[in-house]
A and B are shown apart, each in its own frame.
Chain A
Amino acid sequence: MATAFSIQVLTPEGKVWEGRATAVKAPGAVGSFGVLAKHQPMVAALQSGQLIISAEDETRVQFRISGGVLEVTGYHDVLVLADTAAPV
Chain B
Amino acid sequence: MPTLKDYNKKLVSLRNTRKMTKTMQMVSATKFQKAQAAQARVVPYANALNSMLHRVTAAAAGDVQLPLCTPHAPAYKALIIVVSSDRGLCGSFNHGIHRLVAHWILEREDRYTDIDLVCCSRKATSFFRGKQEIRQSLDGVTATPVMTTAAELGDEAMKLFLDGSYDEVYLAFNEFINAVSRKPRIDLLLPASPSAEEQQALTPENVMIGPRPELLFEPQAPHLLGTLIPLSIRFRIFSALLESAAGEHGARMSAMDNATKNSDRLLDTYTLLRNRVRQAGITRELAEIVTGAEALKG
Which of B232-240, B274-282, B285-293 lies on the face that meets chain A?
B232-240
Return chain B residues, CB-CB under 8 Å to A40: 214, 216
Tell me the A13-31 residues at the B interface (CB within 8 Å).
13-15, 28-30
CA distance A44 to B218 in the complex (A): 5
CA distance A74 to B214 in the complex (A): 10
Q: Mark B199-236, 1 if CB is under 8 A from A, else 0.
A: 00000000001001011111100011011100100110
Q: Mark B234-278, 1 if CB is under 8 A from A, else 0.
A: 110011000000000000000000000000000000000000000
Given A43-B217, A84-B148, the answer on whether A69 and B41 have CB atoms closer than 8 Å is no
Q: Dominant SS at the B interface? A: helix
Residue with the highest number of chain B CB atoms closer than 10 Å, among A13, A33, A40, A46: A13
The answer to whether B231 touches A69, judged by C-beta atoms less than 8 angstroms apart, is: yes
Return chain A residues, CB-CB under 8 Å to B226: 45
Tell me the A40-85 residues at the B interface (CB within 8 Å).
40-46, 66-69, 71, 73, 79, 81, 83-84
Interface size of A as a range: 20 to 34
Residue of B nearest to A30 (CB): B219
Number of interface residues of B (CB under 8 A): 33
Given A12-B150, A84-B147, the answer on whether A43 and B56 have CB atoms closer than 8 Å is yes
Q: What are 24 residue pairs bridging A and B, where the CB atoms are less than 8 Å apart in the complex?
A: A8-B44, A12-B150, A12-B235, A13-B41, A15-B44, A29-B218, A29-B227, A41-B212, A41-B214, A42-B215, A42-B217, A43-B216, A44-B216, A45-B226, A45-B227, A45-B228, A67-B227, A68-B231, A71-B48, A81-B48, A81-B49, A83-B151, A83-B231, A84-B151
Interface residues of A (CB under 8 A from B): 8, 10-15, 28-30, 33, 40-46, 66-69, 71, 73, 79, 81, 83-84
Query: 6 closest Cβ contacts across the A-B interface?
Result: A45-B227, A44-B218, A42-B216, A14-B41, A10-B45, A12-B238
Given contacts A30-B218, A43-B217, A44-B217, 5 further A-B contacts (CB under 8 A): A12-B235, A13-B38, A43-B55, A66-B151, A83-B234
